[in-house]
Amino acid sequence: MSLAEELDRHFMQKALEEARCALDQGEVPVGAVVVAGGRVIGRGRNRVEETRDPTAHAEIIAIGAAAGALKVPRLTGATIYITMEPCAMCAGAIVLARVKRIVYGCPDPKAGYCGSLGSIPEDPRLNHRVAVTSGVMGEECASLVSGFFEKLRSDGRG
């Protein structure tokens, strides 16, 4: 395994920690961390149910935390690690934040917009593009999400 792959796994572990916190709170278990200069500068986990805010996705929260920590409106050069493929809203926010790279774990075939249903980050019509790496610790990320939805269904809530 290369050093870059090891770093991707290391930071995806941090995103998985956030996803587990979301799970513990009854949220869809998605976590995200923004990394710049080799360190985490923003963390987020889904908080939609807690806040009753449909935009409270892990990526949006992590981007806001990172921009606040750096006191800048753009995260040029940063990488965002997310346990699940970002939706259209989050992919758009990542582009607007000028993030350099997205690394995600498992695909989201019903809502993902970084390869599954389309690819906002790589759309050549936009004035900024974001490199996308998928499948980092994908099985672990997917099992967290699938386990959450299986439990919802068995509880009669899904």
The pLDDT value given to residue 25: 96
What are the tens digits of pLDDT across the range 79-106? 999 999 999 999 999 999 999 999 999 9
Q: Specify whether 59 is catalytic.
A: yes
Q: What is the pTM of this model?
A: 0.96
Farthest-apart Cα atoms in the chain, separation: 46
Task: State how far the Cα of 128 lies from the Cα of 98, in Å rounded to an integer.
Answer: 7
CA proximity to 34, closest of 74, 6, 87: 74
Residue that the structure tokens 């200069």 belong to: 37
The pLDDT value given to residue 141: 97
Active-site hit among 18, 27, 49, 59: 59
Tell me the C-alpha to C-alpha distance, in Å, between residue 9 and each of 4, 59, 141.
9, 18, 12
Residues in the chain: 158
